Amino acid sequence: MAKTDKIKRIAILTGGGDCPGLNAVIRAIAKPAIFQHDIDVYGIEDGFHGLIYRKAHQLRAEDVSGILTRGGTILGSSNKDNPFDHEMIVDGASKRVDVSGECAEYIREMGWDALICIGGDGTQAMTQKFHELGVNVVGVPKTIDNDLSATDVTFGFQSAVDVATEALDRLHTTAMSHHRVQVAEMMGRYAGWLTLYSGVGGGADVILIPEIEFDMDIVAEYCLSRSRHGKRFTIVAVAEGARPKGGKMVVAKFLQDSPDPIRLGGIGKVVAETIAERTGLEARATVLGHLQRGGSPVPYDRVLATRFGHAAIELVVERKFGTMPALQGDRIVPVLLADAIDRLKLVPPDHSLIRAARQLGTCFGDEPAVG
């Protein structure tokens, strides 16, 4: 396709775990494409699964009307299908094969001039690989983990923070009533952004994140100290990827058919049981799990997703492929996909919010808390 040719037909897919704001992005891509640029828009079903198995349908204006406030994705998603390492039955045996060439051929057969992939680091890594194959691609950054480099914030993060913060608010009341240590395990994989922000927002007394290894003796002593000083409850917010000093992350299971086979989970129970054993205090664990991913996006994410979606279709029209829109300060700017997936964005141990929380008396498990 010559650089002077007009973009006539595009496809959208949503990959990885779902989160609030996906539909807002689809809407913000499709409506300008249809009404402003006279572009036909197709939705690929169930992420890269639909690209592999050739499942797609045209999106019309009525399909994307009224979806701004809806959670999840009208296109469906999958976090197991990797076109570059896909499990298939070949000659009666299960094998891992690269079907990216067939996917690229499907894109050409459908006449799609560009592919917009909405997702987190795993999705964008595959999007970059398709770019290297010569497919015209644009990414859109999504994840409740907020761990994607090159953008200050990903849509979905703030909605998850709000859910987790409300959960901590609710745990406060039962913890106070029963004089318990309430441990809330949160998502985030290898990054502690979600636990840090919701922990501070929800007034957690202890915040344990992957970036700061914790000492259970310090955590237990902190809970006892609160009890001795008349504070007969403690709220602990722990990220699923948090680990004790010299220890490892707690793995719930391995999924070999997933691009990221490790599924973290269980650290909340370990922390609660250890606190109870070492202090004699009653401790309970709550796993927030997929509650953090579901529901309607908060207004912040609706706005951010709309800005990202609009920027994505503009990048396609301008033929700036191999890029994704990113939030830097208050501006939406294009960045290279290669830069966005270069590394995970982790919480700096000296982050200003951590410093503020420490001075307010929050314990991060690595040193005795003040106050």
Among candidate residues 18, 121, 145, 205, the one labeled active-site is 145
| 145 annotated active-site | yes
Which residues make beta-bridge pairs with 140?
A: 118
d(CA 134, CA 262): 30
d(CA 67, CA 39): 20
Long-range contacts of 104-107 (CB under 8 A, 24+ apart): 104/130, 104/133, 104/134, 104/135, 106/51, 106/54, 107/11, 107/51, 107/135
Q: What are the Cα distances from residue 359, in Å, to 232, 258, 355, 362, 371?
A: 21, 41, 6, 7, 8
d(CA 141, CA 22): 10
Q: Give me the DSSP letters along 187-217.
A: --TT--HHHHHHHHHTT-SEEE-TTS-B-HH
Q: Give me the DSSP letters along 145-165.
A: T--BTT-S--BTHHHHHHHHH
- Would you put residue 361 in left (φ > 0), alpha (ψ -120 to 50) or beta? left
Catalytic positions are 145
